[in-house]
Copies of this chain bind each other. A is one copy, B any other.
């Protein structure tokens, strides 16, 4: 497949594994890159030193000896949510470790794109509207991820779905567009291509893979979700798609239904809920972030199996 996304990242298939908090360590990222896609390390859940460790482990796993005897490293990237608390330190690590591809999200593309471009990196920004896609183009990013309402975890306020968002973003910018949200099957990749996307970013299916660092309880809970088993909640704070069937989700839904204020929601949410749910596997007290297609994923597969089913 020759397209701008494959060229931009020097990858075989225009399939990117989202850099998901508590799921996307070096194991998942390197496994996807080894199979010809682009793996991303999710910096959002890592302290700076931990991020450095994951970048180094990923590089090691992806380094190979080329036919001419020189060593090379297959491409991988790092996803950085721009509300990260130790941003300056994180950016220094990306430079020091020679990271070549950075996906930024949850913030303005203007703030860090010039810095990353100066250091020779390829920069992609995640958007949920075509207004933001235009801002990305002005800021000098190389591509955008257009992420729809179906996506797990943090989500746009406008609730625009992938079906509606991708054609709008493609019309608004000349940048290559990567579709995200509601994509886990090959037919959904084909659908996104029809909408104008040149690549896809897949979260949920990789979050539930063998190589994902999410807790087994998290994977089991998500694999058992029925159709309609996720819900966009926390709308007064930052909207996030959560799995149903847990005490935390039920409480949040009930509070919202009853008109709880932003402050009441923030007080109940507290800190560390995503870690508790995704990494520690505490389903009832943690935040179980997962996408709407979770009902279409029914078993834990290896990344190799997933990539094969998406590209065969």
Does A227 belong to the interface (CB within 8 Å)?
Answer: yes
Stretch at the interface among A2-10, A31-39, A48-56, A181-189: A181-189
Q: Is the CB of B183 within 8 A of A163?
A: yes
- A 253-287 binary contact with B (CB < 8 Å = 1; else 0): 00001111000000000000000000000000000
Contact residues on A (Cβ < 8 Å of other chain), bracket: 35 or more
- Number of copies of this kind of chain in the complex: 2
Name the residue of chain B whose CB is nearest to the CB of A241.
Answer: B159
Does A250 belong to the interface (CB within 8 Å)?
Answer: no
With contacts A227-B129, A227-B168 taken as known, whether A292 is within 8 angstroms of B196 at the C-beta atoms is no
Name the residue of chain B whose CB is nearest to the CB of A259.
Answer: B259
Task: With both chains docked as a complex, state the minimum distance between the C-beta of A202 and any C-beta of chain B, in angstroms.
Answer: 13
Q: Which residues of B contact A182 (CB under 8 A)?
A: 161, 163-164
With contacts A187-B196, A191-B194, A259-B259 taken as known, whether A150 is within 8 angstroms of B131 at the C-beta atoms is no
Q: Is the CB of A150 within 8 A of B158?
A: no
Q: Which residues of B contact A176 (CB under 8 A)?
A: none
Name the residue of chain B whose CB is nearest to the CB of A230.
Answer: B159
Q: What is the CA–CA distance of A284 and B167 in the complex, to the nearest angstrom?
A: 30
With contacts A195-B187, A228-B129, A259-B259 taken as known, whether A148 is within 8 angstroms of B163 at the C-beta atoms is yes
Task: With both chains docked as a complex, state the minimum distance between the C-beta of A232 and any C-beta of chain B, in angstroms.
Answer: 7
- A 167-187 binary contact with B (CB < 8 Å = 1; else 0): 110000000000001110101
Task: With both chains docked as a complex, state the minimum distance between the C-beta of A14 and any C-beta of chain B, in angstroms.
Answer: 15
